Amino acid sequence: MTSAERIVLSSDHSAIQLRQAIAGHIAARGWVVVDIGPATPESTDYPTHGEAAAKLVASGDCRFGIILCGTGQGIMMAANKVKGIRCGVCSDTFSARMIRRHNDANMLSIGGRVVGEGLALEIVDAFLGAEFEGGRHEKRVEMIKAMEG
Ligand code: RB5
C-alpha cells in the first residue's frame, strides 16, 4: 500500500478524541487525512457521519475511510448502505488485516467505547498495512457487489 493517499475520518460525538489520535497517527505515516468531523462534542447522529465518509470513499475522492462511534456498529451499518462500500468493525488486529486481505474492505470502523487508543492505532496499522489477496476471494467480493444492484 502506498501512502500519500487520502483517508477520510469521521465519528460521532463518542469517539472524537480517538478519531483525532488516529488522524495524527496516520498523518505522521504520510497519509493525507480528510477529517470531516465533528469537531465539537455535542451529541450527534452516527448515520449522518457514516454516510458522509462513505460517499467520499465510494466516489473515489478517498482511498479508505476510518469511522468511529461508541461501538463502531451503528456507523458501520450506515456506511455499508452506500453502494461500493465494504466496511467492517474491528476490535482486533487479525480481523483488521483480514478484512483487507479477503474482503477488500475500503472502510474500517472502530468502537471508541470498546478499544483503547493503543490497540486502536494497531488496528489501523494492520488495516492499512494489508493488501487484498484477490484469487479465490475476488469472486466472493464480486458476489457482494452483485447484491448492490
Ligand atoms: C451513541 O450514544 C451510541 O449509540 C453510538 O455511538 C454508537 O455506539 C451506535 O452504534
- Beta pairing partners, 109: 67, 89
Q: Choosing from 49, 62, 69, 90, which is the catalytic residue?
A: 69
Pocket of ligand 1, beta carbon within 6 A: 12, 14, 46, 69-71, 73-74
DSSP line for 4-52: S-EEEEEE-GGGHHHHHHHHHHHHHTT-EEEE----S-S---HHHHHHH
By three-state DSSP, how is residue 58 classified? helix
pLDDT tens for 11-49 read: 999 999 999 999 999 999 999 999 999 999 999 999 999
What single-letter DSSP state applies at residue 130?
-
pLDDT tens for 106-124 read: 999 999 999 999 999 999 9
pLDDT above 90 covers a percentage of the chain that reads 97
Our count of domains for the chain comes to: 1
Could you tell me the CATH number of the domain that includes residue 42? 3.40.1400.10
C-beta separation of 48 from 6 below 8 A: no
Atom 3 of ligand 1 has which residue's CA nearest to it? 70
Distance 142 CA to ligand 1 centre (A): 31
Full domain range(s) for residue 111: 3-146
Mean pLDDT across 144-148: 96
11 grid coordinates: 465519528
Atom 1 of ligand 1 has which residue's CA nearest to it? 70
